[in-house]
Amino acid sequence: MAEVPEATCPNSTVASRDDSGDDSHSTASSGEEDNHSEASGQNLHIEASTSAIDSGSNHQSRSLRLNDNCVTIYATKFLDDNVPFRKKIKWLSRLANVKHDGTVHCDIPTDMKPHTFDSDFYSEAPEKEDTDTTDIPNIPPLQIVMLIVGTRGDVQPFVAIGKRLQADGHRVRLATHSNFKDFVLNAGLEFFPLGGDPKVLAGYMVKNKGFLPSVPSEIPVQRQQMKEIIFSLLDACRANDPDSDVKFDVDAIIANPPAYGHTHVAEALKVPLHIFFTMPWTPTSEFPHPLSRVKQHGYRLSYHIVDSLIWLGIRDMIKELRRKKLKLRRAAYLSGSYSSLTDVPYGYIWSPHLVPKPKDWGPKIDVVGFCFLDLASNYEPPESLVKWLKDGDKPIYIGFGSLPVQEPERMTQIIVQALEKTRQRGIINKGWGGLGNLAEPPDFVYLLDNCPHDWLFLQCSAVVHHGGAGTTAAGLKAACPTTIVPFFGDQPFWGERVHARGVGPAPIPVEEFSLDKLVDAINFMLDPQVKQRAVDLAKAMECEDGVAGAVNAFYKHFPVKNAKEKPEGETQAHSGFSITHYFGHA
């Protein structure tokens, strides 16, 4: 079998299937595919993470020097199911490199025109949207399952949405990690456990800065977590309640993208799916995928590249899920992405006053506003905190939520020194990372274990945090100037948005966290003009009801004819991504 030269375009000869476990339509037995599927997933991440890593190797310099003809040939060959899987990975690495910080750096020719896609879903001239909710159809009582993967900050907006849906007469089951069982049940919703441990997931993502592993040793951790999540989704949709044994028969699915297998479960059960997320996941020309680093002309394509890298990493698990558990036909390579669908509505949970809806997003995509859960009304702060707050000026909040901190003692000392140098009082939230481990904290520092942000931030003059969407929303709602110290994922994106809005300094990546940078950030936030901009933004957000926006979006896009009645053969598992269409080749 002829190998593709590292520094050249793939030739036109179609390579035969090798032992890489690709999705070719060859005569290989299903047993042979099973033997290779696990290995292929492992090989994907090792190759995408080590050969493409920014390690000073010659591979990067050779692979990124592409002309338009090379890119076109790569695009065409990607859709050939007879080309071995490993070769497709090599070609993809010439367009995208997973860096040491876990971000995907894309090298796109400057004269490439992102003008054609295989769906009106990403129309660059979207229809005029009808914002009048009076014509929303009368939805009968539904049994709705929410498939939500992530940390507490990812789960909390869906608790708020679920409570509103339940108040409207629907039965709502929130399926998430077992760590959040009490949180969900105390909110009055039904709970079902998903696989995966959010502490393990958070630790993995802090090390790798995102969804894609940058160190081969992390691959088994990520894959085990993914598999536990993916293979728990079907039971979450149809199993009886684990405590009461009450039957559950799902009518609709709400999910966030990290649930991975949600689209395939919806296809198998023939029920409508609505995806909501706190970070951009739909291609746009206005800003890049939050996990990517690319110049402006490549913004739109960056979504498809990241989507493809994730899909390639879980393809063997999805194949096994579809064949063994869902009894579905095989999803051909890049024809059934895990999330980028042509006919599934998306709702984005952020304020349009912070990030307006892009002009090239069509009518099936909504920006609903931040979704807040009222926790302050039932909160009783400790007397020591109330007294400390009354004894001086409003403090600066500093905390990183449920994210593990790599060097908590060092970071704590930097925080204390920065507060002392700027003569500010500060509240340090210990979180999961061991921050604030001080035997005797100075008088100007208060150590806190846990406290609702919607209560606490109103007592603060400014906030410093990791940049999770929920924490960012709470700080801005409280009119707090904000410094974001991003760890991974969408956090750099929110740091950039906050800075662009003028309500915070440039984000400080956690690996660059230092005394000088924190002092500069605090001084920036103390500027009266910055505070005024934060107040103005908070006033603009006052009129938003993101929970109502999310519920109305769900009702608006709910099919009049239940998706369970779809004729056999009609499938929802179709990607909005076509490499050849993107490059102008049908």
Sequence spans of domains, the chain: 140-372+545-565, 376-542
Cβ(337)–Cβ(307) under 8 Å? yes
- Residue 41: predicted pLDDT: 37
Percent of the chain with pLDDT over 70: 65
- Residue 556: predicted pLDDT: 95
- Residue 39: predicted pLDDT: 36
Cβ(274)–Cβ(349) under 8 Å? no
* Residue among 15, 18, 92, 35 nearest 319 (CA): 35
Positions of E strands within 5-95: none
The average pLDDT across 231-253 equals 97
* H-state helical runs in 105-213: 152-167, 181-186, 198-208
The average pLDDT across 162-180 equals 96
Q: Do domains 140-372+545-565 and 376-542 have the same CATH topology?
A: yes
- Residue 90: predicted pLDDT: 67
Q: How far apart are CA 58 and CA 402, in angstroms?
A: 38
- Residue 490: predicted pLDDT: 84
CATH number of 140-372+545-565: 3.40.50.2000
Selected residue with higher pLDDT from 250 and 213 = 250
- Residue 109: predicted pLDDT: 57
Cβ(428)–Cβ(518) under 8 Å? no
Place 340 in a pLDDT band, splitting at 50, 70 and 90.
very low
Determine whether domain 376-542 maps to CATH 3.40.50.2000. Answer: yes
- Residue 384: predicted pLDDT: 96
Average pLDDT value for the chain: 77
Mean pLDDT is lowest, of 66-70, 264-268, 480-484, for 66-70
Cβ(67)–Cβ(109) under 8 Å? yes
Residue 515 has pLDDT above 70, yes or no: yes
Q: Could you write out the three-class secondary structure of 197-247? A: CHHHHHHHHHHHCCCCCCCHHHHHHHHHHHHHHHCCHHHHHHCCCCCCCCC
Cβ(366)–Cβ(347) under 8 Å? yes
Per-residue pLDDT tens digits for 125-143: 444 444 444 456 688 999 9
Per-residue pLDDT tens digits for 460-496: 999 999 999 999 999 999 999 999 999 887 899 999 9
Per-residue pLDDT tens digits for 283-333: 999 999 988 878 777 788 888 888 877 877 788 899 999 999 999 987 654
* Residue among 224, 236, 233 nearest 259 (CA): 233
Most confident of 306-310, 372-376, 515-519: 515-519
- Residue 100: predicted pLDDT: 57
Residue 121 has pLDDT above 50, yes or no: no
- Residue 202: predicted pLDDT: 63
The average pLDDT across 383-402 equals 94
- Residue 414: predicted pLDDT: 96
- Residue 231: predicted pLDDT: 96
Selected residue with higher pLDDT from 236 and 51 = 236
